[in-house]
Amino acid sequence: MRHLSYMVLASIAVLGCNRSAEAPKVATLPVKGTVTLDGKPLSGAQVVFLTGVPPTIFVGTTDDQGAYQLQGMESSLQGECKVTISQMLKPDGSPPAPGEPPAMAGATEQLPSKYSQLDATTLSAEVGAEGGTFDFALESK
C-alpha cells in the first residue's frame, strides 16, 4: 500500500506542475530492458524510473517476454534513477484491468519490497544521454 501512495504522490507532483492549457504529451523513451524473476520472464510488471529533483517518473509495463520500454511526459531521461518493479495481481492471479485501481480490485503486491517499494528498493540505473538497456534479474526470496 505504501508503494501505491508514493506512486500517487509522485504522479500528482509531476502532473500538478504542468500549468499550460495544453495536455502534456507522453513520449516513448530510448530506455528499455527485460525483467526476469527467478530466471523466467516477468509478465505484466510495472517498471518505474524516478529521477531526483524535480521528481519525474517514467513508466513501462513488461510484456510476455519480460521486455519493457519506458514512457513519460518528457522526451529525455538522464542521470541516476531509483527503479521500482511492481506486479499487482488479484486473488484469482489475474492483473487488474486497465484503468482499474489495484486496491479496488483486491490486488496485492507479488514482489518483495526490495524491488517494489520506493523507500526500500535496491534497484537503480544510470541513464546516459542516449538512453540505454537496463535488464533486471529479480529473485523471489
The 10s digit of each residue's pLDDT in 59-118 is 999 999 999 999 987 667 888 999 999 999 999 999 998 888 988 999 999 999 999 999
C-alpha distance from residue 140 to each of 44, 78, 126 (Å) = 16, 29, 24
Q: How far apart are alpha carbons 60 and 79 in whole angstroms?
A: 18
**Residue 35 · residue 135 · CB < 8 Å:** yes
| H or E segment to which residue 104 belongs | none
What pLDDT is recorded for position 22?
67
27 confidence band (pLDDT: 50, 70, 90): confident
